[in-house]
Amino acid sequence: MKLAVPDLISNSYFPAEAAVELGFFKQEDLEVSLELIFPVDKAYAALRDGTVDFVGGSAHSALAAFPQWRGVKLLCAQAQGMYWFLVMHADLGATRGDLAVVKGRSIGAAPWVEMGLRRLLIEAGIDLARDDVRIAPVPGALAAGVNFGLTAAKALEERKIDGFWANGMGTEVAVQRGIGTVVLDARRGDGPKAAFNYTMASIAATDALIARSPDVAAAAVRAIVKTQRALKQNVNLAAQVGRKLFPPEQAALIAGLIARDLPYYDAVISPETVAGMNQFAVELGLLDGPVPYEQVVATQFAGLWGS
């Protein structure tokens, strides 16, 4: 079986990656391999077309391939809350929470990921057109096999962009190299409160797989929950996974990033989260209107989230 992630050298989808590399899928009698498919809408298209079995990506992005949440379900969360950071070039002298720094600037963001930043800035009172905020893909990031966060950090360093909206790994690289300043971290309370529930890192499968093989879907949920628990008990396991998957610089950083994320490691997908995400999708024109919780989430597996 194949599990697609849209970014590999990252903390964003680390529970999915670690479930493969630490053998927790195997413990559940599932042979699962990782597949990098970027951007995330292509990962969900592969799920729709049957070339992968699961997607470990941003939950709202399922709507790219499954309009109105038809044909797909979220099995569980990898972690709670929207997990991207707004980073601006250090030379701009930005301070934490000062979103005025985006005015007249170019900000790199991946397709579908950028929606979170757009909506957040609008809710914070930024008029993207009036304030000349240019949000676009990072130069070179759409090539096959590219890891977005690292590419964004490199583009920032080369001044191809003024800032980026990306994962914690790209953020940490930019900060440690002295080229970037964190302006906003939505997961940890920066920006409008509603932004926390715009999206989350989840595991998704098709309705067809769930109907055909509910035992397989249940096993996938158990594997993620076991991984979250194992990392909470011993965060140094993250370094073990990093050494297998990441270049040396990023492998040395991953345990620290996961330690910071552990408070958000919870497989639960609550009605409140889904309501916030669907409202976000409606505001973006991705949904015609709110849809029932049970249409989005495979609730038959909810009993496994805390197991």
Number of domains comprising the chain: 2
pLDDT of the residue at 284: 95
* N residues, the chain: 307
Tokens of 201: 């890192």
Closest CA relative to residue 297, chosen from 47, 73, 22: 73
d(C-alpha 65, C-alpha 72), whole Å = 9
Which residues of the chain fall below pLDDT 70?
Answer: 141-146, 307
Domain assignment of residue 8, given as a range: 2-81+199-304
Residue 168, CB half-sphere, CA atoms under 13 Å: how many? 21
Tokens read off for 82: 């929207």
Are residues 249 and 192 part of one domain? no
Q: For 190-229, what is each residue's pLDDT tens digit?
A: 999 999 999 999 999 999 999 999 999 999 999 999 999 9
Q: Which pLDDT does position 145 carry in this prediction?
A: 56
In terms of Cα–Cα distance, which of 281, 123, 304 is closest to 224?
Answer: 304
DSSP type of residue 37: -
Beta strands in 104-227 (DSSP E): 106-109, 134-136, 163-166, 180-185, 201-206
Quick one: 109 and 168 in the same domain? yes
- Asked which of 196, 223, 253 is the last residue of a domain, the reply is 196
| Residue where one domain finishes, among candidates 150, 170, 196 | 196
Q: Tell me, yes or no, whether 73 and 96 share the same domain.
A: no
The crossing angle, in degrees rounded to 10, of helices 14-21 and 214-233 is 100
Q: Answer yes or no: are the C-beta atoms of 133 and 103 closer than 8 Å.
A: yes
Domain stops at, among 169, 196, 223: 196
Residues 107 and 255 in one domain: no
The answer to whether residues 156 and 217 belong to one domain is: no
238 lies in the same domain as 153: no
Rounded-to-integer distance, Cα 297 and Cα 31, Å: 24
The token pair at 274 is: 């889904």
Does 61 lie in the same domain as 89? Answer: no
The answer on 270 and 234 residing in a single domain is yes
CB 13 within 8 A of CB 216: no
Contact residues for 256 (Cβ-Cβ < 8 A; gap 6+): 172
* Domain CATH number, residue 293: 3.40.190.10
